[in-house]
Amino acid sequence: MDRFTTERELSHPVSLCNANGQLNPDAIGFSRQPLHTCNLMGHALRKKRWNYWCVTSPDYLFSITLSDIDYLGMVFAYLLDIKTGVFIEQTVSTLFGTGVRMNDQVTGALSFDHQQMSVRMVDDGTSILLQVNSTSFGGKQLAADIRIHRPAGHESLSVVVPWSRDRFQYTSKQNCMPATGKVLLDGTEISFSEENAFACLDYGRGIWKYASKWNWACFSGTSGKHTIGMNLGAQWTDGTGSTENGLTIDGRLVKIGMDARFEFDRKDYMLPWRLTTPGCPAVDLTFTPFYERVASTDMFVLQSTVHQMIGRFNGTLTDETGKEYGVKDLVGWAEDHTARW
C-alpha cells in the first residue's frame, strides 16, 4: 500500500460489470496495469466510451479522440504549433456512433471510417499505432502516423469511480510514453522524436449520470535524468472514495488517494492556475496557460463546454519516500469541463 493512499489495489483481471449490467463490487479499486474488461451492457443512452490520445513535444501538441456516447459518436483531432500559436481542429459527429468501432479493454484495435476522416488506433500491449487521415483538416490535407512505445513494466493509473451500482466509470490514464512519428499537413512534415515527445492516453468506459463536471490536468516530461508525469482530477470523483490522482516517476506509479485542489479564475482562464494535493506533499505546481481551447456543443440533449488550457507546469512533485522532482516549463494541459450528456 502506498503511503499516499488507502485505496484497494487490484492485481488480477476483473470484469467491470456483473451479468445484469451493474457495477461489479470486485472491480472497485485501482491497478498499476490495465486489468478490467469493460463489459458495458444495458443502460440505454447512458454508456460512455472514449479513447483520447495526446502527443506533446516542446514545439507541437497533437491529439486524436474516438468517442461513442451511445446516441452520438464524436471523433476529433487537433494540432497546436506551440511556437506560433496556430491551432487547427476538426470534429466529425455521427448519429448513434455510426462508424466508430471501440473495444472493451485498453489493448486492441479501434477505428473510424468516414468520408471526412479515418482513424486507426492499434495497441498490442507494447506499442500503439495512431493513424489519422483527413482531406479537410482546416482546409488542408492531414496524414498522421505516430508510434507510441510502452516500455516493459511501465506502470499507469487505472481506477474505477463508483458513484453507485448503476453509475460508474473506469478510467485508465497512461502518460510518460515516448512517441515517434510524423504529421504531414499539406505535405509539410511535423516530426515527433522519442527524445522529447511523450504520449498520454485517457481511456474511459462507464455508465454516466446525465449532468457532470470535472477538472483534469496532465503532463509528461523530464526532470534531470528522470522521466516524470502527473495526472490529477477533481469534482467528478468527490465522495466516491476513489481518485484519478497519481504521479509517474521513471515508469513507476505513485498513487495519490487524497483529493486534488484546482485553483483558477473562471473569469479569466489564462491567469495562472495552482494545483496541489492538500492531504500530502505530492503535488505543488503552478500552471501557466499559453493557449485556450474552447470546445462547446449544444445539441438539445447534449450540452458540453470545456476550457482546455494548454501551458507549462512549474514547481515540484514529491514521491512517497519524500524525494522531490523539479518541474520546469513542462508542456501539458489543465481543463474545466461541464456537461449534460
pLDDT band at residue 297 under the 50/70/90 scheme:
confident
Q: Which amino acid is at 172?
A: S
Residue 340 has pLDDT above 90, yes or no: no
Residue listed under C-alpha cell 460508474 = 168
Quick one: which of 204, 199, 141 has its CA closest to 170?
204
pLDDT band at residue 303 under the 50/70/90 scheme:
confident
CA 340 to chain centre: 19
Q: Please write the tens of the pLDDT for every residue from 161-210.
A: 999 999 999 999 999 999 999 999 999 999 999 999 999 999 999 999 99
Q: Please write the tens of the pLDDT for every residue from 16-72.
A: 999 999 999 999 999 999 999 999 999 999 999 999 999 999 999 999 999 999 999
Cα 236 from Cα 335, distance rounded (Å): 13
pLDDT score, position 301: 66
pLDDT score, position 1: 43
- Three cell numbers at 80? 497546436
The DSSP secondary structure of 222-254, one letter per residue, reads EETTEEEEEEEEESTTTTSS---EEEEETTEEE
Residues 6+ apart with CB under 8 A from 251: 151, 153, 154, 155, 176, 227
Burial of 49 (0-12, 13-18, 19+ CB in 10 A): buried
Burial of 165 (0-12, 13-18, 19+ CB in 10 A): middle
Percent of the residues in the chain that have a pLDDT greater than 90, as a whole number:
95
Q: Which amino acid is at 302?
A: L
